[in-house]
Amino acid sequence: MVDWEIEAVELVSCNCAYGCPCQFNALPTHGNCHTVGGYEITRGHFGPTSLDGIRMATIATWPGAIHEGGGAAQAIVDERADSDQRNAILTIMAGRETDPGATIWNVLSATFDTFNSPLFMAIDMAVDVEARRGHVRIDGVLDISAEPIRNPVTGEEHRARIDLPDGFEYTVAEMGSGTFSTGGKIDVSSKDSYAQFAYLHLGNHGVVKT
C-alpha cells in the first residue's frame, strides 16, 4: 500500500436539511442524495509526491439513500496538478490505497455505479471554517456558496457543530447553510440546505488523530 496523508480544509453541501441525516445513521431528508464538495490540501503526500496546495472537488448523486447504491460521481482535480499529483488525487478519491471503510472516499466508492471521466480545471475556492463561510466555483461545472445558519426570526447567526469521535471524514465539523448548482454529466442543485465546514486529516488508515 502506498503511504499517503493529507491535511485539508473542506466545504461540503447536500440537499438534506441542516444536520444531515447521514451523520446520524438516518435516511435522507428527501429520499435521495445530491452532494457536492471542495477540498484544499494544505499539506499532503502520496508516496514521494507532494500534494501541498492542490485543490479537488466532487459531485455525487444517488436515487435513494447512499447505502442503497446506484450513485453517479464526478471528480474534478486542480488543473495546476502535474500528472503524478493527478494520479495520486484520483487514487485517494476513488478510495484506493486505503484500508476498507477507513475514509469517506473509500466508503462512498462502493456505492457508485457510474464514474464519469475526471475533469482537470481551475478551482476557485475559499473557506473560513470558523466563520462558516466559503465558496467553491468551477466554471460551468460547480458553484457552491455557504454561510452561517441564521435564526429565522431575528436573522442572527446560529452556530452548531457535529462531533464524530469515530468518524471516517472528520472529527468535528461546523454547520452552515449551503446553496449549490452543477453542470455537465451530473446536473443537481439545492438552496439553503445542509453545509459543513471542516479540517480534514486523513491517511491510509483513516482519520489521523493527534
pLDDT in tens, 181-208: 999 999 999 999 999 999 999 999 999 9
The torsion of the CA quartet 99, 45, 117, 107, rounded to 10 degrees, works out to 20
Residues in a beta bridge with 65: none
Does the pLDDT of residue 209 top 90, yes or no?
no
| Overall average pLDDT of the 62-79 stretch | 97
| Overall average pLDDT of the 155-168 stretch | 96
Number of other CB atoms surrounding residue 60 within 10 Å: 22
Number of domains observed in the structure of the chain: 1
| Count, residues in the chain | 210
Residues 6 or more apart in contact with residue 82 via CB below 8 angstroms:
none
- The predicted model scores a pTM of 0.95
Residue 158, amino acid? H
Domain that holds residue 149: 4-207
pLDDT in tens, 79-126: 999 999 999 999 999 999 999 999 999 999 999 999 999 999 999 999
Q: CA quadruple 16, 138, 201, 71: dihedral positive or negative?
A: positive
Residues in a beta bridge with 201: 7
What pLDDT is recorded for position 103?
97
The DSSP string of 112-140 is EEEEPPPEEE--EEEEETTTTEEEEEETT
Helices marked H in 14-128 — which ranges?
83-93, 104-109
**Centroid of chain to Cα 204:** 17
Cα–Cα distance for residue pair 94/30, rounded to 1 Å: 26
